[in-house]
Amino acid sequence: MPVDKQNPPQKYHEPVQGTVFHGDGREEALQKALLAEPSLQNNPGTQPVLDFLYEFGKKFYLMNVGGTKGEGVERVIKERKPKLVLEVGSYVGYSAITFSRSMRDAHPNSIYPKDWSSDTTEDRAGYISLEKSPVYAATARTAIEIAGLKDVVKIVEGSSTSSIKSLRETLNLPAPLKFDLVFIDHLKPLYTNDLKMMEDEGLVGPDTCIVADNVVKPGNPAYLSWVRATPALKRASLEKPRLTTQPPATTNPSTKEEWTKAFFDGPIDETRWTPDESEGVTAKGNPNLVYSSEMVWGYDDLTAEVDACEISVCLREEKE
Ligand SMILES: C[S@@+](CC[C@H](N)C(=O)[O-])C[C@H]1O[C@@H](n2cnc3c(N)ncnc32)[C@H](O)[C@@H]1O
C-alpha cells in the first residue's frame, strides 16, 4: 500500500483491542483464498501476495505490521543488511515476506542453508520466524511459498520462550553466531522475557538490532524500560527477587514526546515478572548489554491508529 508518513491511512476497521480479531477461522479462510486466487497462481511473487493480504485485511482485520511501520523496518534492513534475522510471531507471513524480501535483495548471492552448523566459507543468510499457532504457521507457509521465499524463510512452530531457549539446537546454530536483526511481534507481555532469553543464549549481542512492534498500540512500558535502562539499573533490578504475581501495568503516556522521553528509569521492576505464557521458562537476561534505542512512528494500516516500533541497537557489552 502507498505510504504517506504525514497522513493516517484510510481506516477500514474500528480499534480491535478487546474484540475477537483473529483465530475465528479467518486465517484458514485466507489460506484457502491464497490457494484459490488465479492471479496469484499465474503471477506469483512478493508484491502480489502482500497486496492480496492487504485487500483481505480490509474485509477481515489481519494483525500485520503493515506498510507504514513496515517501511521503517525495511529501511533499517536496507541500511544494516542483516544476514541472520529472527522474527517472533509470524502470523500469516506479511512481515516475513516484506522483510525477508529486503534481506534477499541485500544478499542476492547468499545460500539459505537448512542448518547453520557446517564449517564453511559459503556466504549464508536466513530469516527464521517463530509461531505458536500451527494454523497461522500453515497459512504463513502458503503465503511465503507463493511469494517465492520458501528457501529464505524457515518457520519454527512452538511457544516462543522455549523455542528461543532451544534454537541453537533446533537450527544447529553454533555459538558465537548470533542474530543481526530481531523483529519481536508476538504476545506483548512476553517481549521482555523473550529478549532476556535471547540475551542469556547469546543470540543477541553487540551489533544486533532489535525491532519491537506495537510499543504504543497496545503499548509496552516494561519492555521499553529494559532496552532503555542503563546496565547499572538493570543489574540492580536483577538483584531483587522475581515477582510471583503480575504487578499493575504502567499507564501509557498520551503524547509522542512523552513516549520518546519516558521509561529510561523504569518501570524496570515490572520486568521481574514472567507471564504464564512463557510456560514456566524464565530468563535472567544480560544486564550488561547497552542499547541505543529510538521509536519509529507509523500507523496500523487497517485501523489508522498511531503506533510505533522501538528500534534498539546493541552498542556493546559493559564490563562490571
Ligand atoms: C501481531 S501477530 C504477528 C504479525 C506478523 N509479525 C506480521 O507483521 O505479519 C502475533 C503473532 O504471534 C503469535 N504468538 C503469540 N504468542 C506467541 C508465543 N508465545 N510464541 C510464538 N508465537 C506467539 C500469534 O499466534 C500471532 O500469530
Question: For residue 5, what pLDDT is reported?
Answer: 56
Residue 229: its pLDDT value, please? 97
The pLDDT score that the predictor gives to residue 1 is 47
Give yes or no for residue 266 CB within 6 A of ligand 1: no
Map residue 177 onto helix, strand or coil.
coil
Element (H, E) at 199: helix 191-200
What string of DSSP letters covers 10-78? PP-S---TTS--SSSSHHHHHHHHHHH-HHHHHS-SHHHHHHHHHHHHHHS-----HHHHHHHHHHHHH
Give the amino acid at 111. Answer: I
Q: Is 89 touching ligand 1 by the criterion CB < 6 Å?
A: yes
Q: In a 3-state reduction of DSSP, which class is residue 136?
A: helix
Phi (first) and psi of residue 73, to 5 degrees: -70, -40
Distance 137 CA to ligand 1 centre (A): 10
Atom of ligand 1 nearest to the CA of 159: 20
Looking up cell 511501520 gives 69
Give pLDDT, residue 7.
78
Q: How far is the CA of 89 from the centre of ligand 1 (A)?
A: 3
User: Residue 2: its pLDDT value, please?
Assistant: 45
Q: What is the pLDDT along the chain (320 residues), one digit of tens a residue?
A: 445 556 789 999 999 999 999 999 999 999 999 999 999 999 899 999 999 999 999 999 999 999 999 999 999 999 999 999 999 999 999 999 999 999 999 999 998 887 788 777 788 999 999 999 999 999 999 999 999 999 999 999 999 999 999 999 999 899 999 999 999 999 999 999 999 999 999 999 999 999 999 999 999 999 999 999 999 999 999 999 999 999 998 999 999 999 999 999 989 999 999 999 999 999 999 999 999 999 999 999 999 999 999 999 999 999 87
Is the distance from the beta carbon of residue 187 to the nearest atom of ligand 1 less than 6 Å? yes
d(CA 37, CA 40): 6
Kindly give the number of the ligand 1 atom that is closest to the alpha carbon of 63. Answer: 1
- The answer, yes or no, to whether any atom of ligand 1 lies below 6 A from the CB of 53, is no
How much distance in Å is there from the Cα of 28 to the middle of ligand 1?
16
Question: What's the 25 CA to ligand 1 centre distance in angstroms?
Answer: 16
CB distance 11 to ligand 1 below 6 Å: no
Written as nine digits, the cell of 136 is: 497461522
Q: What is the pLDDT of residue 22?
A: 98
* Rounded-to-integer distance, Cα 206 and Cα 148, Å: 32
Q: Is the CB of 184 under 6 A from ligand 1?
A: no
- For a mutational test of ligand 1's pocket, the pick from 27, 129, 131, i.e. the residue with the most ligand atoms closer than 8 A to its C-beta, is 131
The domain 26-317: what is its CATH number? Answer: 3.40.50.150
Would you say the CB of residue 136 lies under 6 angstroms from ligand 1? yes
